[in-house]
Amino acid sequence: MDDLRFRRSLFADPTNDDDEQLTALSADPAKKKLAQEVNALDEKIFSALNVPVPDGLAQKLLLKQTLASHQHKKRKTRIQFALAASVMLTLGVTFSLMQFSHAYKSISDYALAHVAHEEKFFNNNDIARVNLVNLNQKMASFNATFTDDLGELIAANFCKFDGIKSLHLVFKGKTSPITIFVVPNNEYLNLNNHFESETMQGLVSTYKNNNVIIVGNKSEPLKNWQAKINQKIRWST
């Protein structure tokens, strides 16, 4: 094998081990050295491209996709309404949208979208994995603690509530999971003390610096949960 053919074969496939290639390597130290260098470079390129996928990336992408879809449907509805309204109403809606830069206009909109996405990840038969000590470690970020358990806590994680750092809790309910968000007050999100969709409902309790949002199936006694929270939560500021 001449030098040109050897180089073409080596660069095309550094791992080629046919008889002609091996014979050329054993007969010429320079070719052997070149092959080692090409293989080393190939391994470096492979290592650089082999980047591990961050934990939870798939779930985050799914959440982002679901929220984007929900937002798109809301925008489409607003556009249809604007076309059917009078000129003055159209101008008013347009002005409101121009003044609002966040993805959602109210706590209820985002809470329902978030719970709708998370619904498939939690089941009322899941094992309670979070105790009161671990819960209060996270509640400390909001200057609050619980004096006693509210119920069987399946999950407790920080999340972004329309860009706001919040706490996302999932408890076992009567027949289906109950979701509770602890969200700092924010001027961009309007408050509705009670909200609902076809299957879900929600309640909002407003405190000095935070809001506690409870979301669950319409068959769940959310007012009982709201009463327990009011009795057992303590705010330090």
Which residue has better confidence, 180 or 162? 180
Cα dist. 114→145, 154, 163, 186 in Å? 24, 17, 12, 18
Residue 237: predicted pLDDT: 66
CATH number for 175:
3.30.200.100
Residues 228 and 127 in one domain: yes
Residues 147 and 197 in one domain: yes
- Tell me the average pLDDT across 79-103: 47
Residues 57 and 44 in one domain: no
Residues 127 and 81 in one domain: no
- Tell me the average pLDDT across 165-175: 93
Task: Pick left, alpha or beta for residue 143 (phi over 0 → left; psi -120 to 50 → alpha; otherwise beta).
Answer: left
- Tell me the average pLDDT across 98-108: 56
Residues 212 and 183 in one domain: yes
Residues 118 and 151 in one domain: yes
pLDDT tens-digit series, residues 26-41: 677 776 677 677 666 6
- Tell me the average pLDDT across 179-204: 86
Please state at what angle helix 107-118 crosses helix 57-84, rounded to 10 degrees. Answer: 140
| Tokens found for residue 115 | 């719970």
CA dist., res. 202 & res. 112, Å (int): 8
Residues 200 and 219 in one domain: yes
- Structurally, how many domains does the chain consist of? 3
Q: 73-81: long-range contacts at Cβ-Cβ below 8 A with a sequence spacing of 24 or more?
A: 74/109
Quick check: pTM over 0.75? Answer: no
Domain range enclosing 56: 52-99
Residues 74 and 155 in one domain: no
Residues 111 and 167 in one domain: yes
